[in-house]
Amino acid sequence: MSTNSKTKSREYALQFLYQSEMEKLFLFSDSHFQGFVSHQLVPTEHIAEVRELARGTIERSLEIDAKIQEVSANWKLSRMSVIDRNVLRLATFELLLGSAPHRVILNEAIELAKKFGSAESSRFVNGVLDRIAKTTAVR
């Protein structure tokens, strides 16, 4: 999958995570995912990647949230914006997975935060993910 295609898959995965949290769906549901894919008109070539990113992030959410909380001592997860929290979760999942170089994952997360978050989101996401990346061995 090309870099640009991977970027688009991350964007769809973030949107799915955001929607899931807003609807208070904290377990991955294939039917919910299929509804999202259909409603958002997710291109066929992205579906498998989006599913992998979203499912993995949701299924490992306890581990991911603990890792985020560990490095953001002054910020409780509940105080973070929904977008920032889900950008952090998605990127932390990828860092734990070791699916791409840390700098690529961080740069992509910063871009997602700039696109979907507030004016301060990209700096906040960068700071938290930088600390996570330093403590996360590639597996």
List the single range of 50-54, 55-59, 133-137 with lowest mean pLDDT: 133-137
In the chain, the domains with their CATH numbers are: 3-135 (1.10.940.10)
Cα first-last separation, the chain? 20
Comparing CA positions, the residue from 21, 18, 9, 17 lying closest to residue 48 is: 9
- 62 pLDDT band (50/70/90 cuts)? very high
- pLDDT tens string 9-27: 999 999 999 999 887 877 7
Least confident of 24-33, 51-60, 65-74, 127-136: 24-33
Own/partner contacts of 35-41, CB < 8 Å, gap of 24 or more, are 40/12, 40/15
Instruction: Give, in order, the Cα–Cα distances in Å from 87 to each of 38, 57, 99.
Output: 23, 10, 16
Identify the pLDDT of residue 139: 41
- pTM, two decimals, is 0.90
Distance of alpha carbon 111 from alpha carbon 106, whole angstroms? 9
Which two tokens mark 98? 């070791």
Mean per-residue pLDDT for 126-132?
92
| Cα angle: 117, vertex 123, 126; to 5 degrees | 100
Tell me phi and psi for residue 135, to 5 degrees: -105, 0
Give the integer Cα–Cα distance in Å for 72 and 126.
12
pLDDT class of 5 with cuts at 50, 70, 90? confident
115: its two tokens: 């696109």
106: exposed, middle or buried (Cβ count in 10 Å: 0-12, 13-18, 19+): buried
